Structure 1
Amino acid sequence: MYLIAFDLEGTLVKSKSSWVELHKRFGTWDKGAEYAERFFKGEFDYATWAKLDASLWKGRTREEIMEWANSVEYFDGVEELFKFLKENGFKIAIISGGLKCLAERIGRELKADFVYANELVFDDEGKVTGDVLPWVDFRNKGDILLELREKLKPDLTIAVGDGHNDIAMFKVADVSIAINPHEGVEGDYLAKDLYEVKDIIEKILKDRR
């Protein structure tokens, strides 16, 4: 049995950031950009940042959030890749610093085995309370993958991502694949699209046999 962990946004789907896209959709990006700048300066931790962001959407409905989540498109090649992985004995995890409303939809449609992402809290009327459950921060993607690896004991662990917060996963995996990576993000392999990711994994499996 093998294990593969994917980042979500910028890796499997064409959204770059749930947080940024919802800010722009709801007209809260000015304040959102300010909070991001302050987080990266070290003024507060990730959980505080996530809550400050979510507080800007207080009163927005689950329907409004899901309208965005359901509009996000896949990158080409994702269905072929996931079919190949399932046929070759992979357990598939999606580990996203984005929002669970999107990650769960993608996980369900692609039949991923595990989905981790940050969760907006809704009240009984289905409105955003301003609270958030920050399950995946900028540092703990590696911890999540390590926990999965220790639980499943796979023969091979692969991580695929594009951003700086994916480097923690890369360090835990046996093999890392950077797909269209941000500057300064390097993996064992570099891929330009998901078709190339599939080709790389095929080669890895062939070399192991």
Structure 2
Amino acid sequence: MNNKFPAIWFFDMEGTLLKKEYSLDNGKVAPSAWTVLARKLGEQCYLEEEKTKDRWLNGEYRGYLDWMADTVEIHKKYGLRKELVDQVVEDAKLYNGAEELFKWLRENKAITVLITGGFKALADKVQRKLKINHAFSGCEYFYDENNLVEFANLLPSDNQGKASFMRQVIEEHGVSSKDCIFIGDGMNDIYLAKEVGFSIAFNAQNELSDIASASINQGQNKENLLEIKELISSYFIIT
């Protein structure tokens, strides 16, 4: 990548922009609202959701859509309601420095994109708060008259799917992937990180840190997204 300021900035959401649930990090996949909801629905629900992670890591699913579909059925089985989803969304907090970082990106005419395998309700909250140009998410829940989950719209926006959505965005904007940057924290981000010109592993799992262009490691409760601005300033010309 040349030293021109990146044209499009791609971001993961949970653990990257939203604070990570460290208590749920057992080293399998990066913790997310999927597991937060399962935990709130009870121990048995949590254990069943954990089994889907094992199946995913063992390559037993055809793709991310099948994994999500299994997890949706578990949530339905244990009576997931809109009120609980809304509470998880309300409780989700941005890392320090998030609003300042995105204000700086807007000032530098950067296009910002959120790609997450998580819930649309969470992505909507983050997109509005940070004024992100484009947002893609994995699951949107729809509810019946009793506010129970009835069905879901699922999109393959994780793992290989993250890179696929990235390609669509850069084609629409007429930008090369080499003029783009990605910031994430999980092993599921590797596919996208490998395709852009520059990538940052933000307090990330080792699998991503090993292939990223640069890493930021701050420690629990010390996370601040403004360090991305400082790092970028040492790599690129900012006018």
Q: What is the TM-score normalised by the length of structure 2? A: 0.80
CA distance in 2, matches of 1:39, 1:184: 16
Amino acid corresponding to residue 30 of structure 1 in structure 2: L
Gaps of 5+ in 1: none
Give the equivalent residue in structure 1 for 2:215: 190
Q: Once the 2 structures are TM-superposed, how far is the Cα of residue 95 of structure 1 from its aligned partner?
A: 0.6
Gaps of 5+ in 2: 1-5, 21-30, 218-223
Question: Residue 2 of structure 1 contacts residue 90 of structure 1 at CA under 8 Å; is this kept in 2?
Answer: yes
CA distance in 2, matches of 1:3, 1:114: 11
Give the equivalent residue in structure 2 for 1:167: 190
Amino acid corresponding to residue 60 of structure 2 in structure 1: E
Question: Residue 163 of structure 2 contacts residue 195 of structure 2 at CA under 8 Å; is this kept in 1?
Answer: yes
CA deviation digits over 1:62-101, x for unaligned, max 9? 2220111110111111111011001001111111111111
Question: Residue 4 of structure 1 contacts residue 93 of structure 1 at CA under 8 Å; is this kept in 2?
Answer: yes
CA distance in 2, matches of 1:72, 1:118: 17
Q: Secondary structure at the match of 1:42?
A: coil
Alignment of 1:58-69 (within 5 A): 58=76, 59-69=79-89
CA distance in 1, matches of 2:192, 2:74: 30
* 2:13 equivalent to 1:8: yes
Consecutive aligned runs of 4 or more in structure 1 exceeding 4 Å deviation: none
Give the equivalent residue in structure 2 for 1:199: 230
Q: Once the 2 structures are TM-superposed, how far is the Cα of residue 130 of structure 1 from its aligned partner?
A: 4.7
CA distance in 2, matches of 1:67, 1:140: 28
Give the equivalent residue in structure 2 for 1:148: 169
Amino acid corresponding to residue 149 of structure 2 in structure 1: V
Q: What is the TM-score normalised by the length of structure 1? A: 0.91
Q: Secondary structure at the match of 2:8?
A: strand
Over aligned residues, Cα RMSD in angstroms? 1.9
Q: Once the 2 structures are TM-superposed, how far is the Cα of residue 124 of structure 1 from its aligned partner?
A: 4.3
How many residue pairs match? The answer is 208
Q: Secondary structure at the match of 2:140?
A: strand
